[in-house]
Structure 1
Amino acid sequence: MLEIKNLVKRYGKGAPVLKDLNLLVQGEQLMSIIGSSGAGKSTLLRCVNRLVEPTEGSITLNGTDITKLAAKDLRRARRRIGMVFQGFNLVDRLSVMENVQSGRLGYISTWAAITRRYPAADIERAFELMERVGIAQYADKRADELSGGERQRVGVVRALMQRPEILLADEPTASLDPKTSEQIMTLLRDLARELNLPVIINIHNVTEAKEFSDRIVGMRYGRIIFDDKPAALDAAQMDEIYAGTPSEDRQEIGAVA
């Protein structure tokens, strides 16, 4: 269970990016966070694993308050939080298997990582996950030889190699074509259910959010103004979430009945 209480994030002396935000996430659900640029979606996601430092409030994952951890304990806690990035964040010159095994760096010795002597159990687990997402045949291929969809699948497997208690995905389909985007969203939804894993996605495409999510959270100016099932998101609430958004920025949002 992830519980966020009274979360505030302020950069310098400016207005807060996140304003007294409260959120509870539990169970095998895929939750999408929507909102216009600047709403605080990415900041919220990155506060959860402290890639961004919260200014105030608490973020508790299964009993551990992430915001109170010092460096060593924070590194351990981050092993429990998988992250999938918009830009994939792969090492292009390394093979798919080597990129996937980087998800185990918090668990193996420095010597094993440097010499790439991965434990047999980790290799077996990697092949199982790669087979599950359809990239096992690329295990020895360099990451820069893959398509965007294949690279994102590598990112998903790398995150799952951590055996995370929660999976965060920051715009995981933004760099992909529509067909591949649907495939990645289907994969994330199915994995949430198969692994009993909460998945939180920051996403611009509301049509995809409505189709693949169990829950949608709408943000505006650092606050949550909508939190419900996709079927409850209607045109009036969309107007409230995206009020004042330039029309050219809304083209990717999608239609809402």
Structure 2
Amino acid sequence: MLKITDLVKRYGAGDPVLKNLDLTIEGESVVSIIGSSGAGKSTLLRCINRLVEPTSGSIILNGTELTTLRGKNLRAARRKIGMVFQGFNLVDRLTVMENVQSGRLGYISTWAAVSRRYPKADIQRAFELMERVGIAQYANSRADQLSGGERQRVGVVRALMQQPEILLADEPTASLDPKTSEQIMGLLRDLARELKLPVVINIHNVTEAKEYTDRIVGMRYGRIIFDDEPAKLDGAEMDKIYAGSPHADRATQGAETP
């Protein structure tokens, strides 16, 4: 279970990006975070995995308070949090297998990582996951030879190689065409079921959020103003979330700014 309590994130002397935010995620549910650019969606995900330092508040993952961890304890906790990025974050000159195995860097020795002598069990697991998402045939191909959808599948497998307790996805479909976007969203939903893994997706495309996720959390100005099943997200709720900005039922490009 992920339990966030009274979370605040402030950059400098300005207004907080996250304002006393409370959020609990249990089980294998797929949760989408929606809202206009600047609502705090990406900041929320980055606070969970400590890519961004929270100003105050509590983030507890399966009994571990993440906000107080430092050094090796923080590195150990991050192994439990898989992350899928909008920009894929692959090393283009490396093969798909090498990129996937980077998800195991927190588990193997520095020598094994540098020499690329991966444990047989890790290689077997990588092939199983790559087969599951449809990229096993590219195991020895360079990452820069793949399409956008294939590259994002590599990112998903890399995150799953961590054996995470939760999977975060920050705009995983923003760089993809509509058909590929739907395929990736369907894949994330199915993997959550198969692996009994909670998945939290920061997404602009409300149509995809309603179709592929179990719960929608709507944010505005750093606060949660909607938290319910997709069927409850009607026009009135959309107006509250996106008042003064275009509704996000079309995919938009670009990363969110704090």
Same fold (TM over 0.5): yes
- 2:250: which partner in 1? 252
Does residue 110 in structure 1 map to residue 110 in structure 2? Answer: yes
Does residue 152 in structure 1 map to residue 175 in structure 2? Answer: no
Secondary structure of 2:33's match? strand
Secondary structure of 2:173's match? coil
- 2:62: which partner in 1? 62
Report the Cα distance in structure 2 between the residues aligned to 1:131 and 1:253, rounded to whole angstroms: 28
Report the Cα distance in structure 2 between the residues aligned to 1:190 and 1:140, rounded to whole angstroms: 26
Report the Cα distance in structure 2 between the residues aligned to 1:119 and 1:70, rounded to whole angstroms: 28
Q: CA deviation at 1:70?
A: 1.1
Report the Cα distance in structure 2 between the residues aligned to 1:95 and 1:213, rounded to whole angstroms: 32
Structure 1 residues 251 and 82: CA distance shift in structure 2, 3 A: closer
Secondary structure of 2:21's match? strand
- 1:90: which partner in 2? 90
Does residue 16 in structure 1 map to residue 24 in structure 2? Answer: no
User: Would the aligned equivalents of 1:31 and 1:217 in 2 still touch at CA under 8 Å?
Assistant: yes
More deviation, 66-75/163-172: 66-75
Secondary structure of 1:118's match? coil
Letter in 1 for 2:89: N
Q: CA deviation at 1:251?
A: 6.5
| Superposition CA RMSD, Å | 1.1
Report the Cα distance in structure 1 between the residues aligned to 2:249 and 2:164, rounded to whole angstroms: 34
- 2:129: which partner in 1? 129
Report the Cα distance in structure 2 between the residues aligned to 1:129 and 1:29, rounded to whole angstroms: 20
Secondary structure of 2:75's match? helix
Q: CA deviation at 1:250?
A: 4.6
- 1:39: which partner in 2? 39
Gaps of 5+ in 1: none
Matched residue pairs, number? 252
- 1:179: which partner in 2? 179
Letter in 1 for 2:53: E
Report the Cα distance in structure 2 between the residues aligned to 1:250 and 1:197, rounded to whole angstroms: 27
User: Would the aligned equivalents of 1:45 and 1:170 in 2 still touch at CA under 8 Å?
Assistant: yes
Structure 1 residues 35 and 149: CA distance shift in structure 2, 3 A: same
User: Would the aligned equivalents of 1:21 and 1:223 in 2 still touch at CA under 8 Å?
Assistant: yes
Q: CA deviation at 1:124?
A: 0.1
Secondary structure of 1:218's match? strand
Report the Cα distance in structure 2 between the residues aligned to 1:108 and 1:251, rounded to whole angstroms: 43
Secondary structure of 2:67's match? helix
Q: TM-score, normalised by structure 2?
A: 0.96
Report the Cα distance in structure 1 between the residues aligned to 2:130 and 2:221, rounded to whole angstroms: 39
Report the Cα distance in structure 2 between the residues aligned to 1:51 and 1:128, rounded to whole angstroms: 29
Report the Cα distance in structure 2 between the residues aligned to 1:32 and 1:250, rounded to whole angstroms: 13
Gaps of 5+ in 2: 253-258
Secondary structure of 2:88's match? coil
